[in-house]
Structure 1
Amino acid sequence: MRIVHVSDCYAPRTGGIETHLGELTRMQAAQGHEVHVFTSERGPNDERHGSTEMHGAVTVHRLGTLMPMRAPWNPAAGFMAARLLDELLPDVVHAHAGILCPLALGVAKTAMSRGIPVAITWHSMLDRSRLVLAPWARLTGWGDVPAALSAVSRVAAEEVEQVYGGEVRILHDAIDQARWSPAPEAPDEPPPLRLVAAARLVPKKGLGALITAVAEAADDLPRGSLTLDIFGVGPDRKRLETLIRQRGVEGFVRVRGRKPAAKLLAEYHGAHVFCSPAPREAFGIAALEARSAGLIVLGRRGNGHEEFLQSGVDSILVDDMRDMRRAIIRLATDRARFRELRDRARSVTPDFTYERVCEDTYAEYERAIDLARSGIRLP
């Protein structure tokens, strides 16, 4: 099968959709498919304007251009993508969408106008954008598209249904669970309670609120009870480091930049709790990696990570950051509760492998092919 994936964002940018798409395309190519990626993301050496590179057996087409802050956008990308579709004649186009994804939805529309089967997966919450997107979908014909629609979690799928209508199935993200596994031996018990977080350093991830919660929890605990290491890169780093200094917690809270997977796993093996403070998370690949590595996950309710977390069993899910502060204090002081959650997290692994998700993805492609046969096309 010739498969074209379309994503506005892609490596070298880091994030959940980039991680998932990189692994999914690698596995599809290993299974014998011809796999292409169209992206507006420039390459590590500013490759752009239709430049092509190979990621193993996957062909990546860089359709971006020079934009401020490396924004993954190019007004001419749609025209380049249309020419590529006519050259490649793919069996299916798989668009990976978020709130702002002009390339993904634009190429999906072009493919549908040509009768090419299309699957669209949403990897983010739509939130308030639904107020604009819903009437836009009705006016432009997107409310009844001949495409297989999916989202990475139930909460995300519900929002997509509110905008686009029709059936929206669940197509989870996945991880390499052979890599993300617990250490043979658990780390020493607290104190200190070693907290970690890993995310792109942007305001919506809630890392500033996490630093504040940890600082306030430390005020209510004996000295040396907590540490917090934050891993990731992004434009919010300076603000977070300033907040750490303002709160006077430089001695036990650090922003440590991006780590390769193997080194990040080693950090997890020496930690106790993974913190996911984002108020709106469609899935949470970083939380799944940490949970599979044997960490207790501390996160927010109403997010996509409820697909693989059981609050009170292997994790603690809270309503707000005040509750997160209380949960941190309890984990640092209630040894029996800590052991109960830790032992469950280390002994039971969620089943979110790429092997399973690939099967679900191919089922979506079959659904897309059936819908394309209906003869309905977007103008």
Structure 2
Amino acid sequence: MKVALLSDCYPPRTGGIESQVSDLAVHLLAAGHEVEVFTATRGAKGERGGTVEIVDGVPVHRMALHLPGDVPVNPMAPPVVRARLQHGGFDIAHVHLGVVSPFAWDMARVATGLGLPTALTFHCVLDKAALTLRPALRTWTGQGAVLSAVSEVAAKGVGHAAPGLPVGVVPNGIDPGAWPAGPVRFTARPLRVVTATRLAPRKRVGALLRVVADAHARLGPGALVLDVFGDGAMRALLESRSAALGLGDVVRWRGSVSRSELAGHYRECDVYLSTTRLEAFGIAALEARTAGLPVIARADSGLAEVVTDGTSGLLAPDDAGLTDALVRLAADATLRTRLAQHNVGTPPSQTWGRVVDLVVAEYRRAGA
């Protein structure tokens, strides 16, 4: 099967969609499919304007423009991509969408307009955007496109935007070998807490700092430290807020690191903490859980589908509950060890072999 993957974002940009689409391309290729990527993200050496480069054996059509901040937007791309799809011998177009994905929305219009079998996968929780997208989804599904999302939570939002239509669930994939778990170790103090996230408003890092500050106040000095991996435009503001909350000796801003470096750091930590709510899946939390860390997260986010409360982590109904869970794990070494031992001994179900099978099933549904 010849597959076109179409996404606003792709490496060298970093983020959930970027890593998932690039990993999907590689694993589809390994499964015997032919894959090409179309993206509005420039290449590592500035490739853009329709340049095709080979990345990990996959042709990547770089449709980026020269724009401030290299934002992945190109309203002039549709005619070029339409011609390449029309003459490229593709069997399926797989469009990857977020709440704000202008390039991907354009690609959905192009692919369905060509009559090319099209799979549309949402990597976001639509929330209030569901109603505004209803006309577009009605048009595209009327032209044969099939809908899916990366979790049941995200699929529910897509269902609100496309009432009466089936919405598949295709989870994000993970390679457990890339996140090896170390031996379960116990240190009395401090509790080593970690998170990996973009420093952006949607990720609620400010709320995370408040949760840690409240837990620190209850546990006392020296009881915990937090390592924050990731970067973004809000870093300076968040560092100032951390200082204002009295967390100068508690929170350590680690910046962006490679996957292998992050996996190594996870083996030195005790607990992964997430405060996100509008999280469709939570690949970072799944990576940490695969590495053996108990995960603390909100029960009203997509992370509830990769964390089982009381088995692989603790789920909370709100931010106050997250603080309670953090204090509980800091005080209860037996519980923390039990959760970690489960995660070390029980690989996640969202392996790439299974995910590729689900993706190909979506392609066949679109073709039908």
TM over 0.5: yes
Match in the other structure for 1:209: 207
2: CA distance between counterparts of 1:110 and 1:56?
Answer: 26
* Aligned residue among 213, 224, 227 for 2:225: 227
8 Å contact from structure 2 (residues 181, 291) kept in 1: yes
Q: Distance in 1 between matches of 2:168 and 2:135?
A: 22
Query: Deviation of residue 69 (structure 1)?
Result: 2.2
The 5 A counterparts of 1:150-161 are: 150-161=148-159
SS in structure 2 of the partner of residue 254 of structure 1: strand
Matched, 1:22 2:22: yes
Q: Distance in 2 between matches of 1:105 and 1:92?
A: 16
Maintained 8 Å contact 1:187/1:269: no
Indicate the larger mover: 82-91 or 116-125: 82-91
Structure 2 residue aligned with 1:239? 237
Report the TM-score when normalising by structure 2.
0.96
- Name the residue aligned to 1:333: 331
Question: Shift of residue 145 of structure 1?
Answer: 4.1
Task: Decide which of 248, 252, 255 is 1:254's aligned counterpart.
Answer: 252
* Aligned counterpart, 2:305: 307
User: What secondary structure sits across from 1:256 in the alignment?
Assistant: strand
Distance in 2 of aligned mates of 1:330 and 1:145:
52
Alpha-carbon separation, structure 2, partners of 1:361 and 1:236:
35
Counterpart selection for 2:322 from 321, 324, 346: 324
**Contact 2:131–2:160 under 8 Å retained in 1:** no
**SS of corresponding position for 1:283:** coil
Deviations 1:73-130 (A, max 9, x none): 0110112211211231311100001112222232222222222111111111111112
- RMSD of Structure 2 on Structure 1 (CA): 1.5
Aligned residue identity for 2:132: V
Which structure has the higher relative contact order (CA within 8 Å, separation 6+)? 1
Structure 2 residue aligned with 1:377: none
The offset of 1:181, in angstroms, is: 2.6
In terms of mean alpha carbon deviation, does 329-338 or 155-164 score higher? 329-338
Matched with 1:46 is: 46
Matched residue of 1:59: which SS?
strand
Code of the aligned partner of 2:176: Q
Distance 2:311 2:209 in 1: 25
CA shift, 1:264, in A, is 0.6
Answer yes or no: is the 8 Å Cα contact 1:177–1:352 preserved in 2: no
Q: Which amino acid aligns with 1:92?
A: I
Give the drift of 1:135.
5.0
- Cα deviation, residue 163, structure 1: 0.6
Equivalent in the alignment of 1:171: 170
In the alignment, residue 239 of structure 1 is paired with which amino acid?
L
What stretches of structure 2 of length at least 5 have no aligned partner?
none
Cα distance change on mapping 1:62 and 1:169 into 2, 3 Å: same
Contact 1:187-1:271 at 8 Å conserved across structures: no
User: How far apart, in 2, do the equivalents of 1:135 and 1:302 lie?
Assistant: 27
Tell me which amino acid in the other structure corresponds to 1:326.
D
Q: Distance in 1 between matches of 2:247 and 2:48?
A: 42
SS in 1 for 2:95: strand
For 1:60, give the aligned amino acid. V
3-state DSSP class of the match of 2:255? coil
Aligned length: 367
Deviation string, structure 1 residues 184-213 (Cα, Å, up to 9, x no partner): x22333311110000111111111111121
Once residues 249 and 15 of structure 1 are traced to their aligned partners in structure 2, the CA distance between those partners, rounded to angstroms, is 27
- Contact 1:143 1:163 survives alignment (8 Å): no
The yes-or-no answer on 1:74 pairing with 2:86 is no
Q: Which residues in structure 2 correspond to 1:1-379 (within 5 Å)?
A: 1-135=1-135, 137=137, 141-142=139-140, 144-165=142-163, 166-183=165-182, 185-370=183-368
Q: Give yes or no for contact 2:125–2:157 (8 Å, CA) kept in 1.
A: yes
The letter of the residue matching 2:229 is F
- Structure 1: stretches of 5+ with no match in the other structure: 371-379
- The alignment's TM-score, normalised by the length of structure 1, stands at 0.93
